[in-house]
Amino acid sequence: MSMFCYQCQEAAKGTGCTGLKGVCGITDDVIHLQDLFVHLLKGLSYYTLEAKKSGVDYANADVFITEGLFTTITNANFSKDVFVKKIKETIALREAIKVNLQKAGVKVELTSKDFYTWNEQGEEKIVAKAFTIDSKIDAPNEDVRSLRALTLYGVKGLAAYILHAHNLGFEDKSLYTFLQEALVKLTNDSLTVEENIALVMETGKHGVTAMALLDKANTTSYGNPEITKVNIGVRNNPGILISGHDLKDMEELLAQTDGTGVDVYTHSEMLPANYYPAFKKYKHFVGNYGGAWWSQKEEFEKFNGPILFTTNCIVPPTSTSTYKDRVFTTGAAGYPGSKHIAEREAGKQKDFSEIIALAKTCKAPIEIEKGEIIGGFAHAQVFALADKVVDAVKSGAIRKFIVMAGCDGRMKSREYYTDFAQKLPKDTVILTAGCAKYRYNKLQLGDIGGIPRVLDAGQCNDSYSLAVIALKLKEVFELNDINELPIAYNIAWYEQKAVIVLLALLYLGVKNIHLGPTLPAFLSPNVAKVLVDTFGIAGITTVDEDIKLLVG
């Protein structure tokens, strides 16, 4: 069966990637293995839930399923070997739970669907089986397929946030259970369209819970983000560039490089690590290097030192890339030929000694820009400025806030967001989170009475902060509906973490969100109409038309 993938915004021709390789660079065999892996995770989830109901041991299935979903996010893991291994582990874990259920005398309803029963351990048979899986999500019709896609991709994004919190020692067991229940429900052909819509909304509800949990994990571990001027220049020491989203990896890398003569720079979505008080104590934590994930090929050539991917956002290096032997991955990330840093053992840190040793042999980074960018406007910091912000709104100094959170990407059409930010009236303030900010966070847009016109809350998961800020403003202005606030939403999306953010906003009742640069390819016409009619979801048009509509 041929490859098909439409889970990200770059789906070829706006419909889906086919052939031997996707736009992101993933190969057809890896896509099929990911499909088989998710297929089998549904069966594992079924038996895990049965074990939970009966008080039977289900080993480490909660974390295994969560981390597994994370590896299938766009640009996270390109390794065939990883997915063959994970498929074997899934089958072994499923069969172990089955044995535990049988030993406990628990009778489980039998089913003929093979994600509950298929059992092969040979690589050749696993790959052959993978190519029989229909990459188009199995469903009775296109509308159910579309709704299942919304749920599945939302669940993948949800898994990422749950795992980040878990890595910091914070868990909510109900989130693991929901992931498993959602995967099982995706196999239930008897669910109506209305029931599938309800599942989509329930996914958004758990998205809010997961982002709140991760916010608590981050701020408890590292303090509340502070207003920070981040250096974007370089020093003369060799450096390590850390990309992705996992702050636990950031913490351990900083600790292990302290006193070694090696500097640490953030890249892309790791930029907000600069805002946390706990990381500021490290004198060798220099600042940020480069921009959004998609420009890494050019920037990594000039960095000179090793690059560590802690999560997704990998762009496959070319055969002529000079940096390909300096790329390391860890956690859910992986790329063939790159060295992978193993998971931490209980009570120990990950071992970054190999990266540090390599860094010491490298030249200092080549400077690609100078100056500073300002960030750190998460909810606690904005609340500290609440009186100033409220006064500015009441006086008319701030006419409107524009939420421009989300993702950046390679498409030329994303220049729209730079133009939009530049053309916004001077009495508007941009609220942002995620790597979408790289389209405008280095522009000189000024301030309003000392309040910067770009308020960066942090990573994509910190879109939660923007929701908390909106709910606080609703309370301050004594409004009945969050949509009565002077806030408009013009959000860019790329992958599955943006999907869960969108579903979380919809669950919170936010309406009239503009989503671009294109609407998801996995939305059927009927499902798209439901989103338009119920929530006012719309695509972008031209900068001038959208400013007139959103700002007036």
Give span(s): CATH 1.20.1270.20, the chain. Answer: 3-220
Which structure tokens are listed for 450?
């000392």
Phi, psi values for residue 423, rounded to 5°: -90, -10
pLDDT given at position 110: 65
Q: Whole-prediction pTM value? A: 0.97
Which structure tokens are listed for 505?
């906003």
pLDDT given at position 27: 96
509: helix, coil or strand? Answer: coil
User: According to the CATH classification, is domain 378-550 in 3.10.520.10?
Assistant: no
- Name, in order, each residue with C-beta under 8 angstroms of 410's C-beta and a sequence gap of 6 or more: 10, 294
Beta strands in 222-357 (DSSP E): 228-231, 239-243, 263-266, 285-288, 307-309, 327-330, 339-341
CA 56 vs. chain centroid, Å, equals: 33
pLDDT given at position 184: 95
pLDDT given at position 113: 74
Q: Is the peptide bond before 317 cis (omega within 30 degrees of 0)?
A: no
**CATH class of this structure's domain 228-360:** alpha beta
Selection from 15, 402, 380, 412 nearest residue 226 by Cα: 380
| Residues of the chain below pLDDT 50 | none
pLDDT given at position 103: 95
Out of 1.10.1060.10, 1.10.110.30, 1.20.1440.130, 1.20.1270.20, which CATH number does the structure's domain 3-220 have?
Answer: 1.20.1270.20
pLDDT given at position 327: 98
pLDDT given at position 111: 65
pLDDT given at position 505: 96
**How many other C-beta atoms are found inside a 10 Å radius of the C-beta of residue 474?**
17
Determine the Cα–Cα distance for residues 189 and 182; give it in Å rounded to an integer.
13
How confident is the model over 280-298, as pLDDT tens digits? 999 999 999 999 999 999 9
Contact (CB, 8 A) for 237 and 261: yes
Give span(s): CATH 3.40.50.2030, the chain. Answer: 228-360, 378-550
pLDDT given at position 136: 83
